[in-house]
Structure 1
Amino acid sequence: MPDAPRPTLDTVAVATQDPGREQPWADLGLKADEYAEIREILGRRPTSSELAMYSVMWSEHCSYKSTKVHLKQFSEIPQETPVGKMLAGIGENAGVIDVGQGYAVTFKVESHNHPSFVEPYQGAATGIGGIVRDILAMGARPVAVMDPLRFGPLDEPDTHRVLPGIVAGVGGYGNCLGLPNIGGEAVFDETYLGNPLVNALCVGVLRHEDLHLAKASGVGNQVILYGARTGGDGIGGVSVLASETFDADGPAKRPSVQVGDPFMEKLLIECTLEIFAAGLVAGIQDLGGAGLSCATSELASAGDGGMHVELDRVPLRDSTLAPEEILMSESQERMMAVVEPADVEAFLAICAKWDVEAVVIGEVTDGERLIIDWHGQTVVDVPPRSVAHDGPTYNRPFARPSWQDALQADGAEKLARPATGDELRETVVRLAASPNLCDKSWITDQFDRYVLGNTVLAQPSDSGMIRIDEETNLGVAVSTDCNGRFAKLDPYAGAQLALAESYRNVATGGAKPLAISDCLNFGSPEDPDVMWQFAEACRGLKDGCLELGIPVTGGNVSLYNQTGETAILPTPVVAVLGVIEDVTKRTPTGFQAAGEAVFLLGETREELSGSEWASVVHGHLGGKPPVVDLAAEKALAELLAAGVGLLTSAHDLADGGLAQALVESALRHDVGVSVELAGDAFVGLFAESAGRVVVTVAAADGAALEALAAGHGVRATLLGTTGGDALEVAGQFTLPIAEVREAWSATLPAALA
């Protein structure tokens, strides 16, 4: 039977002649005042294609309409790193940092939370694919990925549904691309039940002269779409767009989660890098959230003219797609390039070599409009900046929650504590086996950590480290961190504690921290409590970066992570990137040999609120988080850099305190340790004071370390000596390594078998 006839195409001419037509603006997530503003911008009602474009580009995910009033303060931070000027920053696909020797590194962390709840494997897989294309679009070769993850309680059925699929998606896509996964997190908390967080980070390397930006300049330059064909997957992945909104008689509602093809992406990477090397690109943009709507409007908005696109030239996997659907599709593995006419033939030839489909779909014009035609009829005629950059700005109300004071008054320091050596010993084992502190190799063993041959450090080291120059051994280290419990207790301090821990993790390997990217995961912006948390976290990050002297290169915001009235713990994930001149001289994580002196760097205070001990043993969350001393963090990082070659190992203290740091250091190479703690042994073992690292040196080098620490104003306390087959705390307990390893390693396999 012949296809049913489609409704009359809603062109600009039709929209002008039919101003009163009812349109599904509310179903697409637009507010009444937003729809009115679109009509005012255009001087008429929008066409259905224009309405679709505005709805998705003005969505929270794409426009940051509730958060940009707070994010703009990051521009107050000087755009200089400890090495040199940032080459590209906020507003680009990813930040680009000078790391010396003519090299630059680009990195960014983004979220793919909601798709990963709906369809765990594809949601997580396409999260990796999208962040990799962001890095590629800057002119860089992607060299590594990371995956900060958050799940509901480990014993919940829905965690068993989403976790295996998410982990398989991260590993499946990244492994097929041949990119090492060098770090991340897996954290469990009841607030993430129904709202798992799948944040994805990618690192890329380029020479300074290879930098590319997303802009469409040069009248007459051709616009080329290349990569996978456009299908119906991903429509509504960013907004609430569904196909039947526009065409009730058309195909059934399409899936909202994109479907990834990592082998196509691998071809796209190599093809694009060869195109860059040939000098054939004047501007480039990946197609991620909002698909062609985003790529066309952003390229035109950032350029010096307009753009004209023939939408019917777009290669399709589904010939029934309407123009609205083509514009909204978030099909993966696609890029858009702006190419000078003389270079088009060479561009297409390289694409053909890599078996990557490429089509000229438009050109840069001398006007100021983005015009999109469908079979000779104009369906979009808009000022591109109004779509891409000048969307609504909300000053949403926010206020310190009425419950915040009571929460902070309920400190964990009053909770019952273990009183004997046996009780301390049992607590060490219980924490080591807890979901947040246990062995994560069930997850990380699904990731290839060493492909490409340049991985220097990876899980479970404090940071991931990659060599970027095989002759000079120049390298970079990256870490991601956030303790959502601390952020709930005090979002300003919690954001700074996330920054400090990630900064410290990079420093423990001997790298110099340079810059940050962030992924700010919060509940509903319509809740004044949540908006206060967000505002405070942004203020904390800005003040923290100013004090540490490192810029924010860019990042991502994910809102509406909320089930009913229950928002997730505020989770401002902070990624810090650092540079190391010679990766062969990095400081490893974990005790390396017997007979070495063990020191604690930094100050321990009775800080137990928000701790893993309070959560695991008492199910308690209350009080104030540990004190943040960023000047001390900076001094500690400088000491760790100066100690490269002297230090034989270094491991930061965070969740679980000194006890967990000693457990992890001993388990790394089955090297025991004997320590003696002054004062309250419980506080010494389980307090989670920030700014601390446990390090080892050769026995003869203890005095040299103490002198180095004194010169940096950092307290160094001799704890004991490595060796044996147990973790011994003098006067308290002896815990065989084999026993704690059994408990530590059994948790995830037992739960997920």
Structure 2
Amino acid sequence: MTLAESDRERVVGELGRDPTRAEAALFENLWSEHCAYRSSLPLLSAFDSESEDVVVGPGDDAAVIEVGDGIYATFGVESHNHPSYVDPFDGAATGVGGIVRDTLSMGAYPVALADCLYFGGFEREHSRYLLDGVVEGISHYGNAIGVPTVSGSTAFHEGYEGNPLVNVACVGLLSPDRLVTAEAQRPGNRLVLVGNSTGRDGLGGASFASEDLAEDAETEDRPAVQVGDPYAEKRLVETNEALIDAGLVQSARDLGAAGLGGASSELVAKGRLAVASTNAVHQREPGMNATEILLAESQERMVYEVDPENVDAVREIAEKYDLGCSDIGEVTVDGRYVCEFDGDVVVDAPAEFLADGAPLNDLPMETPETPATDYDLPALAEAFEAVVASPNAASKRWIYRQYDHEVGARTAVRPGEDGAVLALRELADADAAVADAPGIALAAGANPNWTACEPYAGAYATAVENATNLAAVGAEPVAAVDCLNGGNPEKSDVYGGFGAIVDGLADGCRDLSVPVVGGNVSLYNDSEAGPIPPTPTLAVLGTTDTVDAPGSALAGDGTLLLVGGHDERLGGSELLAEFGGSDAFPEVPENAGDLVATLARVAGDDSVSAVHDVSDGGLAVTLAEGLTADAGADVSVPSLAALFSEAPGRAVVETTDPAAVRAAFDGVADVVEIGSSDDSGTLAIDIGDVESGGVAFDHDAVAAFRETIAAAME
């Protein structure tokens, strides 16, 4: 990829001369889609990003939300899609490293990760190869740095065959006095680079992420993939803590896309900065030129603004943790971004023009069509087994058991439930039990079947689904970050689908009163196999008064209520994905915010023993996931479609006081009694419109259905 001719003309007009080689490379990367959001920025104003809890909104390395008296949480998300296709292990691992450093740059300590993964058809050997490498990369990096992976999602869809997605979110914690931002504070301060030495790995990563994947990407684009060192990252985490503790940091940026050039240009957008000498950057490869030094995306590096008198103190701390440290520049007020190499000026450009001068794209957009209703239903037993055993609905235990989800001793609700919950020990009474501590909850994911069916409705449902996941563990959402993934925006139908998921997600979050405080956009996710489905990954953070949450497993002694009632539309369902056909997407709830808030309160009631949302695979999978060897259920639903519809905003509640649950949802949502739980270990399902009656499956049979991923990968 080279600087487009129209962009070159714009640069020449501003500079009054041809750009140098280093300048042209900087403009190419910083004005790329990946960095400048040239096609997506016009759409992002749809999101609301403010609330009384939001301390720092979009625009910094991570957002900051107040989650309790005297405690802030940072929240961010990023994608590492193209690199994870070319090199699944390193691509995924460095995605984790990047989002963790975004957390560090705000002064926070990382406490939780959520990974959302999307691959081609599971039956394909190449998809399983990518899955294996990506999961290994995430677990290797996350486990080594001591940050638990507690939530996420995994989906399989033919549209990802040539372009998987790896989206990673991170939550950190800090006290208000430790907050650091990317706004340069004072002229005369020094710019100090701390971390691993700079090499040639990851060169051109930003521009690589802004173009379609070619057929030979796995070999030709490998140099654009960064190589991570989690043990260096762990030392960087501790170094960052020590620097913040000592009050040595005035502002900070993580070195990610476009390397030092990208990080320093982001500081430029908020202050004024001159990098005095690229030669000063500590390097691990001899003979690097200015362009390579500026744009290399070598990992485990941070840039700090430091008072001149504190540079030596920063260097001492870096050396203590065996990390490199280079004094490379000075904050100035002249409005120029200047870089020198071997005594020559190789970059001299207006700071704001370099950081924010990329022209936005005005692209045509086609409105997606609503699918027609056209399908034939299979027999009940065949449908149940196929859907419960499908990779999208089957157990993800093989994936999350590779992650250390308990390091840090905060995790109260582990992976496998609707949402994860972590204890805020800082807010607990010294003598209180852990279960009585307040907590934060995290849920993340998206369903490509939903957005492939109807992008707007599917994205709206994504917001409702993640909020419902939090409510099921007793938490109410307070903020969200999104990772908006799409194909080539220059194709009007693809851009139309992308625009629809932006609007759907924005409207869903607005109706839930959940501000979208940050995010990431990844476009040009096209390959020889075609564009990906528009994929609006959403991560939602919630708060709860106690970490003692109900689980999804049935207790075996209650009435089963379906909150939200039945729906018989099958658009976007796993049933149609398995057996073919089309249908309109189910209706989304009109009062999603009230529904979620009520469900969160009901989940904390003493009479409620289990809560589980209805999503992938519909009611059939919800019931299958609640089955244990000692707890079964006898349920009745009006139709096969009602059993497999994936209408959002619904949950199954097991309770010994159904009247109280009905009263709580009066005027908020329909509540339908679907049966009762018992100690049989058997799931019996009766379908009202099926002449042959119902079916029954014992726990062992259902457990075997759900082991599809583990059986293929082990």
- TM-score tier by shorter-chain length is over 0.9
Cα distance change, pair 240–492 in 1 and its aligned pair in 2 (3 A): closer
Question: Which residue of 135, 149, 156 corresponds with 1:167?
Answer: 135
Indicate yes or no: 2:178 matched with 1:210.
Answer: yes
What is the match of residue 91 of structure 1? 59
Deviation at 1:240, TM superposition (A): 4.7
Cα distance change, pair 106–671 in 1 and its aligned pair in 2 (3 A): farther
What is the match of residue 677 of structure 2? 721
Indicate yes or no: 2:363 matched with 1:396.
Answer: yes
Q: C-alpha deviations, 1:226-269, integer Å up to 9, x for none?
A: 0000001000222159xxxxxxxxxx998110000000000001
Distance of 1:565 and 1:118 partners within structure 2: 15
What is the match of residue 658 of structure 1? 619
Q: C-alpha deviations, 1:309-357, integer Å up to 9, x for none?
A: 2100000010121111111100000000001112222222222222221
Cα distance change, pair 254–162 in 1 and its aligned pair in 2 (3 A): closer
Aligned residue identity for 2:560: V
What is the match of residue 652 of structure 2? 694
- State the SS of the aligned residue for 2:154: strand
Deviation at 1:642, TM superposition (A): 4.3
Percent identical pairs in the alignment equals 38
2:387–2:574 contact (8 Å) kept in structure 1: yes
Aligned residue identity for 1:350: I
2:477–2:540 contact (8 Å) kept in structure 1: yes
2:86–2:222 contact (8 Å) kept in structure 1: no
Deviation at 1:291, TM superposition (A): 0.3
2:511–2:592 contact (8 Å) kept in structure 1: no
What is the match of residue 17 of structure 1? none
Distance of 2:363 and 2:668 partners within structure 1: 44
What is the match of residue 149 of structure 2? 181
Indicate yes or no: 2:68 matched with 1:104.
Answer: no
Distance of 1:643 and 1:750 partners within structure 2: 34
What is the match of residue 15 of structure 1? none
Deviation at 1:46, TM superposition (A): 0.7
- State the SS of the aligned residue for 2:711: helix
Distance of 2:618 and 2:497 partners within structure 1: 26
Aligned residue identity for 1:43: G
Question: Which residue of 691, 701, 707 corresponds with 1:739?
Answer: 701
Q: Which runs of 5+ in 1 are unaligned?
A: 1-26, 242-251
1:500–1:630 contact (8 Å) kept in structure 2: no
Deviation at 1:471, TM superposition (A): 5.2
Deviation at 1:650, TM superposition (A): 0.7
- State the SS of the aligned residue for 1:260: coil
- State the SS of the aligned residue for 1:506: helix
What is the match of residue 8 of structure 2? 35
Deviation at 1:636, TM superposition (A): 3.8
What is the match of residue 128 of structure 1? 96
What is the match of residue 641 of structure 1? 601
Question: Which residue of 501, 504, 511 corresponds with 2:465?
Answer: 501
Q: Which runs of 5+ in 2 are unaligned?
A: 210-219, 429-436, 687-692
Question: Which residue of 554, 558, 565 corresponds with 2:522?
Answer: 558
Instruction: Tell me whether 323-332 or 635-644 shows the greater mean CA deviation.
Output: 635-644
Aligned residue identity for 2:444: T
TM-score by length of 1: 0.89
Q: C-alpha deviations, 1:592-632, integer Å up to 9, x for none?
A: x222222211121211122101111x233x33211112414
- State the SS of the aligned residue for 1:239: helix
2:375–2:580 contact (8 Å) kept in structure 1: no
Aligned residue identity for 1:124: A
Question: Which residue of 417, 431, 447 corresponds with 1:461?
Answer: 417
Instruction: Tell me whether 538-547 or 320-329 shows the greater mean CA deviation.
Output: 538-547
What is the match of residue 166 of structure 2? 198
Q: C-alpha deviations, 1:483-516, integer Å up to 9, x for none?
A: 2222122211111011110111011100011111
1:309–1:363 contact (8 Å) kept in structure 2: yes
Distance of 2:637 and 2:533 partners within structure 1: 35
Q: C-alpha deviations, 1:508-566, integer Å up to 9, x for none?
A: 10001111110111110110111111112112222222222111111011111112472
What is the match of residue 17 of structure 2? 44
Aligned residue identity for 1:634: D
Aligned residue identity for 1:514: V
What is the match of residue 672 of structure 1? 631
Distance of 2:626 and 2:283 partners within structure 1: 54
Deviation at 1:716, TM superposition (A): 4.4
Indicate yes or no: 2:569 matched with 1:610.
Answer: no
1:600–1:719 contact (8 Å) kept in structure 2: no
Aligned residue identity for 2:404: D
Question: Which residue of 334, 337, 346 corresponds with 1:370?
Answer: 337
Instruction: Tell me whether 256-265 or 452-461 shows the greater mean CA deviation.
Output: 452-461
What is the match of residue 9 of structure 1? none
2:501–2:535 contact (8 Å) kept in structure 1: no
What is the match of residue 5 of structure 1? none
Cα distance change, pair 574–253 in 1 and its aligned pair in 2 (3 A): closer
Distance of 1:367 and 1:674 partners within structure 2: 72
Distance of 1:742 and 1:119 partners within structure 2: 32
Distance of 2:451 and 2:254 partners within structure 1: 33
1:153–1:159 contact (8 Å) kept in structure 2: yes
Aligned residue identity for 1:649: A
Aligned residue identity for 1:604: H
Distance of 1:533 and 1:609 partners within structure 2: 16
Cα distance change, pair 373–712 in 1 and its aligned pair in 2 (3 A): same
Cα distance change, pair 744–254 in 1 and its aligned pair in 2 (3 A): closer
Distance of 2:301 and 2:179 partners within structure 1: 20
- State the SS of the aligned residue for 1:676: strand
Indicate yes or no: 2:22 matched with 1:61.
Answer: no
What is the match of residue 479 of structure 1? 443
Distance of 2:275 and 2:408 partners within structure 1: 41
Aligned residue identity for 2:142: G
What number of residue pairs does the alignment pair up?
Answer: 689
Indicate yes or no: 2:546 matched with 1:588.
Answer: no
What is the match of residue 417 of structure 1? 377
1:587–1:645 contact (8 Å) kept in structure 2: no
Distance of 2:194 and 2:401 partners within structure 1: 34
Deviation at 1:706, TM superposition (A): 2.4
Coordinate RMSD, CA, aligned: 1.8
Indicate yes or no: 2:543 matched with 1:579.
Answer: yes
Indicate yes or no: 2:102 matched with 1:140.
Answer: no
Deviation at 1:721, TM superposition (A): 2.0
Distance of 1:336 and 1:263 partners within structure 2: 19
2:461–2:508 contact (8 Å) kept in structure 1: no
Distance of 2:597 and 2:573 partners within structure 1: 23
Distance of 1:160 and 1:729 partners within structure 2: 33
Aligned residue identity for 2:616: D
- State the SS of the aligned residue for 1:688: coil
1:106–1:135 contact (8 Å) kept in structure 2: yes
What is the match of residue 282 of structure 1? 250
Distance of 1:638 and 1:274 partners within structure 2: 43
TM-score by length of 2: 0.93
2:561–2:653 contact (8 Å) kept in structure 1: yes
1:595–1:723 contact (8 Å) kept in structure 2: yes
- State the SS of the aligned residue for 1:674: strand
Indicate yes or no: 2:641 matched with 1:683.
Answer: yes
1:598–1:722 contact (8 Å) kept in structure 2: no
What is the match of residue 13 of structure 1? none
What is the match of residue 46 of structure 2? 73
Indicate yes or no: 2:561 matched with 1:599.
Answer: yes
2:92–2:166 contact (8 Å) kept in structure 1: yes
Deviation at 1:90, TM superposition (A): 0.9
Deviation at 1:211, TM superposition (A): 1.4
1:709–1:716 contact (8 Å) kept in structure 2: no
Distance of 1:691 and 1:60 partners within structure 2: 34
What is the match of residue 214 of structure 2? none
What is the match of residue 212 of structure 2? none
Instruction: Tell me whether 426-435 or 497-506 shows the greater mean CA deviation.
Output: 426-435
Instruction: Tell me whether 702-711 or 140-149 shows the greater mean CA deviation.
Output: 702-711
Deviation at 1:467, TM superposition (A): 1.3
What is the match of residue 81 of structure 2? 113
